[in-house]
Amino acid sequence: MQKITPFLWFDNNAEEAMEFYVSIFRNSKVVNVSRVGEGAPGPRGGIVVATFVINGVEIMALNGGSYFKLTPAFSLHVACDTQAEIDELWDKLLSGGGEPSRCGWLTDRFGLSWQIVPAILDKLMADKDRAKSDRVREAMLQMVKLDIAALERAHKG
């Protein structure tokens, strides 16, 4: 069992968000759904709290209303092995009204921030040769969606 679980507050669209995320990532499923009952606040039958798994990571979602909003101060980081994986996730997460940002970050249509990055990025950025890691960082800062080949070229100089 996962001891620490991200718990996301949605503005009454938690079910739509959960179904969207489960449809995008492999190894994903809805685990548990608690619905609004008779006499409880909120639309009857709507989700109160739900638990789902995306790519093996358990996440909880709450239909909390408009009181709080998701912000880029919290994001889900996805380490991708290939450019094809980056491209696929980038396009799917932006579908329906998401917004790209810089350096591999995007915000999906529900307001959740994501970092879609190559798994190799940490290794390239942590190179003991400061000139190589600086070139990678500078290349990354110029990108919106990250490009593995361009990052590797920057690393080689």
pLDDT of amino acid 88: 98
| Whether CATH 3.30.720.100 fits 1-68 | yes
pLDDT of amino acid 41: 65
Topology given in CATH for the domain delimited by 70-157? 2,3-Dihydroxybiphenyl 1,2-Dioxygenase; domain 1 (3.10.180)
pLDDT of amino acid 43: 67
pLDDT of amino acid 80: 98
User: What is the bridge-based pairing of β-strands 105-107 and 57-63?
Assistant: unpaired
Identify whether the C-beta of residue 133 lies closer than 8 Å to the C-beta of residue 121: no
Beta-carbon contacts of 102 under 8 Å, excluding residues fewer than 6 positions away, are: 141, 143, 144
Instruction: Report the predicted TM-score, pTM, of the whole model to 2 decimal places.
Output: 0.93
* Tens-binned pLDDT, residue by residue, of the chain (157 aa): 789 999 999 999 999 999 999 999 999 999 999 998 777 666 677 789 999 999 999 999 999 989 999 999 999 999 999 999 999 999 999 999 999 999 999 999 999 999 999 999 999 999 999 999 999 999 999 999 999 999 999 999 9
3-state helix, strand, coil in the chain (%, to 5): 30, 25, 40
pLDDT of amino acid 46: 79
Q: Could you state, in order of their start, the residue ranges of all structural domains in the chain?
A: 1-68, 70-157
Identify whether the C-beta of residue 58 lies closer than 8 Å to the C-beta of residue 25: no
What angle separates helix 14-24 from helix 83-94, to the nearest 10 degrees? 160
pLDDT of amino acid 14: 95
DSSP labels, 69-111: ---TTSEEEEEESSHHHHHHHHHHHHTTT-EE-STTEEE-TTS
Among 61, 45, 72, 68, which Cα is nearest to 13's?
61
The C-alpha angle with vertex 137 and arms to 135 and 143, in degrees rounded to 5, equals 105
The dihedral region occupied by 32, where left means phi > 0, alpha psi between -120 and 50, and beta the remainder, is beta
